Amino acid sequence: MTSCADLTRRRVLVAGAALGAGLVLGRAQAQTSSASAQPDSRESDRIAADFLGEATALPEGLALDLPALGDNPAAVPVRVHVTEAITDELWCEELIVLAERNPMPLACRFRFTAASGSADVAVRLRLIETMHVRALARMSDGRILEARQQITVAAGGCGL
C-alpha cells in the first residue's frame, strides 16, 4: 500500500535526482579553460635564474619525492626536503617548486627561519602534462641546492 506521504517522498527523490544530473551537466560544461602548457622550460628557467642570482645550483642535499606516474593530475603528491643536517647555524631560508610546463611554472614558494629547525614539506600540485618538476633551496650560507625529476601524467585532467 502506498500512502500519500510515500508518494510525496518519491517525487522529492525524483526531483532531487534530476537536479543532481543538472548540476553534473553544468559542471561538465564549465570545464572550458584557456590554460595551455608551456612549450618548453624557458619560463621555468627564467624563474630559476632569478632565484639563483649569482649562485650555481648544486645537485645534492635536496630530495624531491614524487610518483613516476601521476595517476590523478589534479592532485599529484610532491614532497621536498633538505637531506643535509639543519642546525642553528645552517638552515634552509627559501625553497621554490617549479612545474616546468605548467601555464605558470612557479608552483609554490616556502620560507623557513632558524626557528623552523627543519625543511621538509609536502603539497599536492596540479600538472597540465608530462613534465619535469624542479626544486631549488637556498641555504643560510648562500649555497643553492637543486633536485629535478620527471613525472608522467594523464593530460587534460588537471582542472587548471
Partner 1 sequence: MANPPRIWISNEAPAKDEIVRVRAQVVHVMESGLRQDEAGNPIPRDTLERFEARLNEALLLDWQPETAVAQNPYIEFTFRARESGVLKMVWSDASGIFAEAEKTITLS
Between residues 76 and 145, which has the closer beta carbon with respect to partner 1?
76
Q: List interacting residues with partner 1 (CB under 8 A).
A: 26, 29-35, 74-76, 79, 99, 102-113, 115-118, 120-127, 159-160
The distance from CA 32 to its chain's CA centroid, rounded to whole angstroms, is 21
For 114, residues 6+ apart whose C-beta sits below 8 A from its C-beta are 88, 91, 140
Task: Return the number of the residue (14 or 19) whose C-beta is nearest partner 1.
Answer: 19
Q: How far is the CB of 127 from partner 1 (least distance, A)?
A: 7
CB of 52 to partner 1, least distance (A): 18
**Cell 592532485 found at:** 75
Give the cell for residue 110. 616556502
- In angstroms, the CA 119 to CA 148 distance is 17
Closest CB 72 distance from partner 1, rounded Å: 9
